[in-house]
Amino acid sequence: MEEEPGIVQPTRLFWGWDRPVLENAVRLLTEGYAGPGALDLAETLVIVSTAEAGRRLKEALAQAVPAGVLVPWVWTAEQALLPPPLAARAATRLQTRMAWQQALQNTAVERLTALFPVLPEERGWPWQMEMARLLEELNSLLGAGGLSFADVAEQVEQDASRWRELSILGHAFNQVLATTGLEDAQMLKRQTAEHPWLPEGITRVVVLAAPDLPPLFRAWLASCPVETLVGIQAPETLAGSFDSIGRPLPEHWGEESDVVQPLGEEQIHLHHDAGGQARHTLDLLRELSPGARVTVGIGDPEVGAVVSEKLKLEGVEVFEPGGVPAQQVGLWHLLQQMQALTAGSSWRAFASLLRVPEVRRAWLGGGGEGLKLLEDADELAMEHMPVTLTHALELCAQKPAEQAERLTRALEAASKQVEELQNLPLPRAARALLLSLYATREFGNAPEDQMLSTLADAWLGCCQEIEDESARFGLKPAPEEAFALSLELLSRTPLSPPRGEVDLVLQGWLELLWEPSPGLLVAGMNEEHVPGIVISHPFLPDGVRRELGLPSQASRFARDAYILRTLAEQRVSQGFLHLLCGRWSDRGDALRPSRLLLLCNQADLPRRVAHLFPKDETLTEDVQEPPRSLAWPLLPALKIPPVERISPSRIRSYLECPFRDYLSQELRMQQAEPFKRELDPGEFGTLVHHALQQLAGDPHLKVSTKVGEIAEFLIESAVTEAHRLYGEKPAPLIQLQLESLKQRLRHAAETEAAEREAGWQIYLAEWEPPEDKPLLIEGARLYCKVDRIDRNVLNGQLRVMDYKTADKVAEPLGAHVRKLSARSQIPEAEMWKCFRHSDGKAYLWKDLQLLLYAAALRLNGLRPESVGYFTLPKSVQETKVLTWEDYSDEWVDRALECAAEVVRRLREGRFWPPAARAYDRGFEELFLGNPEASVKWTGPEGAEG
C-alpha cells in the first residue's frame, strides 16, 4: 500500500484468521497487563464498528480481567467525528430537514433551471418536505467523504451547473442554520476531521476490526496527535488489500478480483422462501447446537422476522440487538390509521380503527356494545358504501333511529376526535388521543405493555419536537402534515426492549465479524441484502460516488466479500458455517442468491452456478409455506334444517357446494367487507332490476316503443335508487359504475322497444306463487319472485323472463346444466345431480331457476311456451333476449325431481363433502385453500371430514 505524502499513517496490526475478532481485540487491549489490580484503559480511545460491538468488547474484557476493567472511551466512528461537545451544537435530523425546507422557501427556485428544469405548479409543504429530504440525504452522503455541494461542483465535470445551483441552496441552508444558532452536522464533522477532539488524557487511539468506516474518518485518524493503531482481522500477506484504516480495497476484494471464498456447496442451502430458511435454521440448530456453540445471523430482515417467530413458538427466547422497529408494535398501525382519518375523514380509516377494542371503547364510552358497533358499521359499509364520516352520518340519518344509534354515536365521537387533532397543537392532541385510548388501562411488566408505553412516549417526544422546531423555523404544517411527519420520525426510532435472560441473539450481518461462536448459521444471504443494493440518489449516481471516493456499490461489495471470507476462514479448521438463501420474498418477488457465493475457483464455478440456480424440475425443495397456517380446525355446529320453504337460489347454492351452502344459509356466515368502494355484481344487478320493475309498473311506458323515453325513464329510476342507497355523492368508483349502468340501460331500452314491435308486452312483473296454490316440493313450499312474464299480443304465447346483468352472456340451457361426455370425470358425491334426457344426452344440474318458475306458473294455469333471459352484459352490443332452445315439459319434470332430492338431502343434513371448486363466498381464506383439511365435520351419519 502506497503512503500518501504529508499524511501520518496509523500502525496496522494484522491478526490473521485463526482467532475470533473479539479474542484478538481483548488480547491487544490487555497486552502488558500482569494484574492483580484492575486494568485501566482510561488513556485509550477505542473505535469499533457498531454500538453492539462495543458492548460485546466491554463484556469480554470484564470476563478476561476478573479484577475489573476501566474502559470509559469506546466510540463508533460517528461519535469520533461528532463528539459530545460538538454534537450539542449540531442540528438534529429534523432541524436539518426543516432548515432545508426554509432554504427552499428563501430561494428563487424558479431560477435554478439546471436543478429544476420543470417545477410543479403546487410547491407547498409536500413538495418542500420531499425536496428537503433529498437534499438532507445528499448532504449526508457527501458528508461521509467530507465534501460539500461546492466541492463537488469543482471536482466533477458531469452536471457541474446542477452542482453549482445546489451550492446556492447549500449557502441558503447554512444561513438558515446560522440564524437559529445551529450548525450543520456534516460541516462540524469536516472541522473535527481536521482538528480531532479527544477526551482529556487520551494517549492512543485503537481502531478494532472496523471495515465499514466512512472515508472522512481516514483524515480524522491521520490528524490525531496521539499514537494510532488499526487492528485488521486478516493475515499480513493481504496487507496490500486494505487501506490505511483497515477498509478492504475494491480492486482487491471486488467482483473482478481473484477472491476465493473457502466454501463448499454443502454449506450453501437454497430454499423457496423465508419459511423454508427458517425451518432449516431450526433443524440445523437442533442438529448442531448440542455439541457446539451456535449463533444465528440474519442478512434479510424479512427472514429474521420469520426465524424469530418460529424460535419463539419453540419456546426459545430471542433478542435482536438492532432493536424492534416501531412498525412491529400495534400502536404504530393505530396511529397510521388515525393519521389517515385526520387527513381525509375517510370511512376506510374509521372502519379500520373500529377493529381496535380500545378505539371502540373510546368512541362508545364503554357499555359492552363494541362488537355490535362493528356489526353496524360492516352492515352500513356493505349496503351503502360510505366514503367519509360526513357521508356515513348522512346515510345513518336515513335509517330508523334505533338501527343507527350506536354507529351515529361512534361517528360523532370520531368526528370530534378528528376536530381535536386538526385544531389542537400536535403535542396536546397526541396526549389527548393516547389518554382517550389508554387512560383506564393498567400497564404491567409484560413485553407488549412495555413496547406500547415506550412507543407512546417516543411518539409524544416526536410531536413535541415537531411543534418546537416548526416554531423555530417559522414553518406552519397543516395538522395532517405534522401528524404524518411525527410518524416518519417515529419510524426511525428503534425500540430497545430489555435484554433480560435470552437463549439466542439474532445478529445482524455487520455484527457477525465480532461473533466468536465456532458454529454460525446465516440466513437471508440474498443479493438484495448481502452485499445489498446501494440505492442511487437522484443527484448522486453510483459512478459519481466512486469518482468522489464515497461509499459505493463497489466498496459495499468489497466490504461484504471481506466479511464473508473472515467468517469462513475463522471456522475452516474448527467449527462450521452454513449459509441459507431464498428464491422468493413473501411478496412474491424473485430473489437472487448473493454474488458473494459465486466467489470460487473458476473450475468450480459451473457446479456452483448449477447449485445456486437449479432447474425447477431438479430442485429438491420443501413445499412453500402458506401465508397462514392452521392453528385449529373449523368446527361448525350441525343444524339440520326443517326446510318448510325452499327457493331456486337456495337450490342453486346447494348444487354448487353443499358445505358452503350450509355455512352461508344455515349458519348465516358471510364475509365482512368494510372497505367496499364499488358495487358488486349483485348490487349492480339490483339497480338494473329496480329500473326495469319500475318500467313494468308504468302503464304508459311498459307498452311504449319509443327508445328515448324508455331509456330516460330507466336511467332516472336507477340513478334515483342509487342515490337513495349510496348518497348524493357516492364513492368515485360507484359514479363510474353508474355511467356503465346508464349505457346498459340505453341498450336495454332499444331491446325493449324492439320486443314491443315484435308483439311482446309485459303481462306480469314480480309474480309470486299465491298462498292458496303453492308449488310444493317434498312438502316444502317454493317461494320465488319471477322478474317478468311477457305475453305476445299477436299469438297469445307466454314466456318467463329473468334479468341477467353478468359481464358475459350465458345461454339459459348452459346456465342450468352441464353437458356430459364419455370422458367426463364426475366425483361420486355429485353423481346424484346427473340424469339422461330423452334426447339421449347426459347432463349434470347446475341450476333449476327458470324451470321451477315454469312449474309454479303451470300449476297456476299460466303455461309458458318459452323461458329465457333478458341479458344486459358488459358488452352492451350483446343486449338481447335469449330463450331456452328445445324447452319442453320434460325439462321441468326432471328439474322437479332434482329439487325434491335437494330438499331430502337438506333435511338429512347432507352437507359434506365440499365441492373442489365453487363461487367464492368469502370462505376460501378461511379454508386456507383446502376445506377438507381445515374443517372437522361430523355429519349425522357419523362420517368425519
Averaged in consecutive runs of 10 residues, what is the pLDDT profile of the chain (945 residues)?
Answer: 57 94 95 87 95 92 91 94 92 95 94 92 91 95 93 86 94 95 95 95 96 95 95 96 95 90 93 88 83 85 84 77 77 93 93 92 80 90 90 91 90 94 94 92 80 91 96 93 94 73 80 92 92 81 89 93 95 91 86 93 92 69 54 83 95 94 90 80 92 94 93 95 90 90 95 95 95 95 96 95 90 95 87 93 96 96 95 92 94 97 95 80 74 80 44
- pTM of the entire predicted model: 0.78
SS3 label, residue 680? coil
**Closest-CA residue to 168 (of 116, 91, 130, 208):** 116
Three cell numbers written together for 899: 329439487
Rounded distance between C-alpha atoms, residue 643 and residue 903, angstroms: 7
SS3 label, residue 764? strand
pLDDT value at residue 285: 86
For helices 160-179 and 93-106, angle between their N-to-C axes, nearest 10 degrees: 110
Rounded distance between C-alpha atoms, residue 432 and residue 415, angstroms: 14
For helices 330-344 and 447-473, angle between their N-to-C axes, nearest 10 degrees: 40
pLDDT value at residue 144: 93
SS3 label, residue 3? coil
Rounded distance between C-alpha atoms, residue 480 and residue 492, angstroms: 19
Rounded distance between C-alpha atoms, residue 646 and residue 80, angstroms: 81
Q: Are 455 and 491 in contact (CB under 8 A)?
A: no
Instruction: Output DSSP code: residue 385.
Output: -
pLDDT value at residue 618: 47
Rounded distance between C-alpha atoms, residue 789 and residue 762, angstroms: 6
Which run of H or E residues covers position 924?
Answer: helix 924-927
* Strand locations in 272-326 (E): 294-298, 318-319
Encoded amino acid at 61, one letter:
L
Q: Are 713 and 725 in contact (CB under 8 A)?
A: no
DSSP one-letter string for 121-180 = S--SHHHHHHHHHHHHHHHHHHHTTT--HHHHHHH--TTHHHHHHHHHHHHHHHHHHHHT
Q: Are 146 and 187 in contact (CB under 8 A)?
A: no
Rounded distance between C-alpha atoms, residue 288 and residue 290, angstroms: 6
Strand order in the sheet with 866-871: 760-767, 786-792, 798-804, 866-871, 880-883
Rounded distance between C-alpha atoms, residue 137 and residue 133, angstroms: 6
**Closest-CA residue to 609 (of 622, 274, 617, 601):** 601
- Parallel/antiparallel/unpaired status of strands 760-767 and 786-792: antiparallel
pLDDT value at residue 325: 78
Rounded distance between C-alpha atoms, residue 191 and residue 82, angstroms: 10
pLDDT value at residue 686: 93
Residue with cell 488489500: 241
List 845's β-bridge partners, or say none: 817
Q: How many CB atoms lie within 10 A of CB 38?
A: 13
Three cell numbers written together for 737: 359504475
In sequence order, which ranges of 613-758 are alpha helices (DSSP H)? 648-656, 658-661, 681-696, 707-726, 732-757
Q: Are 273 and 300 in contact (CB under 8 A)?
A: no
pLDDT value at residue 2: 46
